[in-house]
Amino acid sequence: MREIDVAVITDVVREMCIDANYQLSADMQAVLNGAVVKEKSELGKKILSQLQENLHIAAKDQIPICQDTGMAVFFVKVGQDVHFKGGTVTDAINEGVRRGYKEGYLRKSVVGDPLIRKNTEDNTPAVIHYDIVSGDRVQITCAPKGFGSENMSRVFMLKPADGEEGVKNAIVQAVKDAGPNACPPMVVGVGIGGTFEKCALMAKEALTRQAGKHSDIPYISEMENEVLDRINRTGIGPGGLGGSVTAFAVNINTYATHIAGLPVAVNICCHVNRHVTKII
């Protein structure tokens, strides 16, 4: 049994919140650089170049890469041989978010009640998803999610008879409906299977997969490529102003489901697609 003081969790989360918001991850930087070369529209190339300039300034001046520094979302894989001391993990994560957003001068965008809508003034509480795994390590993925793209999310409760083609059509339709509102170029996270809530969770987690890394399931990998091509042929383009690069990647996760259902969730993220992972 390995003991971890939750104060360590707080320190790591604080750092992750700032890092994720100040600089683009290496995988997203790579696909953005590639998009500038691939984009056929001159206006599209100009917009992508402006995005690159924005990222350079943010890294140099240590300021957020986007003004919407998001609601803090975490995927936490806890080894079953870990024992925490000094408090609860949830409280530790929220304290890390509180410190990170205050000390990093990040926008506080969370309201404590969805209808009363009074700002909590420290961007807590975070949204935390736990998974118990083997081992004595804790893996934390921080993925601050802005709501321009989050609001474009969709869940489709398809019929089994809709099949693979129905799934592809649903994903493309979600992107078309989003249009410029999701701040393209985008990364499209997709969850197929499970239940209503499971497919949505898979879609959100799919966004944290490295852009350009495909599913280990051959036919799903092929689907990712095909759907990406169809999305980029919509002509939405960078900033929604037309072009050949509407999405950087389509990441699909799957899970078992009921014989009577085919749930599909689409969670879109804008061009920054912030995510950072640390192992303790």
pLDDT tens-digit readout, 252-279: 999 999 999 999 999 999 999 999 999 9
pLDDT for 51 equals: 95
pLDDT for 232 equals: 98
DSSP state of 213: P
Name residues of the chain where pLDDT drops below 70: none
pLDDT for 200 equals: 98
Widest distance between CA atoms in the chain: 58
Helix, strand, coil % over all residues of the chain, rounded to 5: 45, 25, 30
Task: Judge whether 39 and 248 are in contact, CB under 8 Å.
Answer: no
Reported pTM: 0.96
Can you give the residue ranges of every domain in the chain? Answer: 2-20+65-144, 147-273
> Which listed CATH number (3.30.420, 2.30.38, 3.40.50, 3.30.360) goes with 2-20+65-144?
3.30.360
Outline where DSSP puts E strands in the chain. 2-5, 73-79, 82-85, 127-133, 138-142, 154-158, 186-194, 247-257, 262-269, 276-279
pLDDT for 184 equals: 97
